Each structure stands twice: as structure tokens, then as C-alpha cells.
Amino acid sequence: MTVEEKEQIFLQWQREHRGIVLKVARSYAASKGDQEDLAQEILIQLWQSVDRFENQAKPSTWIYRVALNSAMAWQRGERRRRHRIARMVELDAYWLKAEGPESELLNRLYESIRQLTPHERSLVLLYLDDLKYADIADVIGISESNVGVRINRVKKRLTELCNKGSDS
């Protein structure tokens, strides 16, 4: 594959699947700066993965796989970094908290999603994006029947977390 072909594929993926990168970044990182850093890391990994894409899955499935794996790796590194360096800046609450009742619900949902395990977050994001169980299974690497079981469990947990957040 030539550099021009790779660039063309990458730019097309960016245009068509930008939302995937942003959703994953917002779900794995809390602050705007971290979300931007994570989105950039995902895009770097996506660029590096273009050569390995073999059209055996849909581009969106491939992009989810790259984005989720990048986010989990980023989170592991971020956790180690945060243990070494004291947090200097408080979360930019204004950016994270939009105004209005619909935004409050969305913010509560993302806050609850961030409390899930990385694998649970992956399931929720793919489910909320209306991917078929077969596609979710392909992205995560589990059986299609296991997807249904895990989604039911994570939906219960997410409901508990959202309700817990509304009580406070």
C-alpha cells in the first residue's frame, strides 16, 4: 500500500467514524485535556493500523477495536503516571457540565460509564452505538451469546450507578 493510499483511507475513516474516537475518549478520560490526548493517541494508533486492515471486518469494527485497545492501554499508563505525579489542576467542571436537564442526564451517564471496568465500558459504547451482537463479539473477541449475557449484566450495573448518582 502506498503512502497516498494509506493517507486516503485514514482520512476517510476520520471523516466517517470521528464519533467513535470521540465517544471512546470521553468514556475513558474525565478531563477535556485528557480526552484530547487520548483521542490523539487513538488516531496515532489508527494511522499505524491502516496497513494491517484486511477488510475482513467493517471499518467501524476495526476502528472500535483499535480505539478501545488504545484507550485501555492509555488508561493503564495514565494510572501509573498519576501515581507518580500529584494532580495539579482540578477537573474543568464547566466543560464537563453542560447546561439543561438533558445535558445533566448525559453527564450523569458518562460519569457512570467512567465508573465501569474498561471491558464494561467497551460493551456499553458498542451497544449504545447500535452495533449488532456479532459485530460487538468481533470487536471484543468473545462469543456472540456471551455478548448478550454481559450486556444484560452491565446494563443492570449502569442503571445502579446512574440511580446512585441521582440520589446524591
Distant-in-sequence contacts of 8-13, Cβ < 8 A, 24+ apart: 9/50, 9/53, 10/46, 10/47, 10/50, 13/46, 13/50, 13/59, 13/63
> Are 46 and 118 in a shared domain?
no
User: Which pTM does this prediction carry?
Assistant: 0.57
- What pLDDT sits at residue 115? 87
Identify the weakest region by mean pLDDT among 65-74, 94-103, 120-129: 94-103
More confident: 113 or 102? 113
- What pLDDT sits at residue 41? 92
Of 37, 70, 92, which marks where a domain is finished? 92
- What pLDDT sits at residue 166? 60
> Are 77 and 105 in a shared domain?
no
> Are 79 and 133 in a shared domain?
no
> Are 112 and 70 in a shared domain?
no
Q: Is the pLDDT of residue 86 over 50?
A: no
> Are 109 and 82 in a shared domain?
no
Output the domain CATH number for residue 136: 1.10.10.10
The pair phi, psi for residue 55, each rounded to 5°, is: 60, 25
Of 44, 65, 92, which marks where a domain is finished? 92
Q: Is the pLDDT of residue 87 over 60?
A: no
Of 31, 61, 92, which marks where a domain is finished? 92
- What pLDDT sits at residue 95? 42
pLDDT tens digit sequence for 118-166: 888 888 888 888 888 999 998 888 898 999 999 999 988 888 888 875 6
Question: Domain span at residue 41?
Answer: 1-92
Cell output for 21: 474516537
> Are 56 and 139 in a shared domain?
no
- What pLDDT sits at residue 161? 85
The angle, 0 to 180 degrees and rounded to 10, between the axes of the packed helices 3-28 and 32-49 is: 150
Cell 456479532 sits at which residue? 134
Q: Is the pLDDT of residue 67 over 70?
A: yes
- What pLDDT sits at residue 112? 85
> Are 69 and 151 in a shared domain?
no
> Are 118 and 132 in a shared domain?
yes
- What pLDDT sits at residue 53? 87
> Are 83 and 143 in a shared domain?
no
Output the domain CATH number for residue 73: 1.10.1740.10
pLDDT tens digit sequence for 2-29: 889 889 999 999 899 988 999 999 988 8
- What pLDDT sits at residue 82? 59
Give Rg (Cα) of the chain: 17
Task: Output DSSP code: residue 50.
Answer: G
Count of domains for the chain:
2
- What pLDDT sits at residue 92? 41
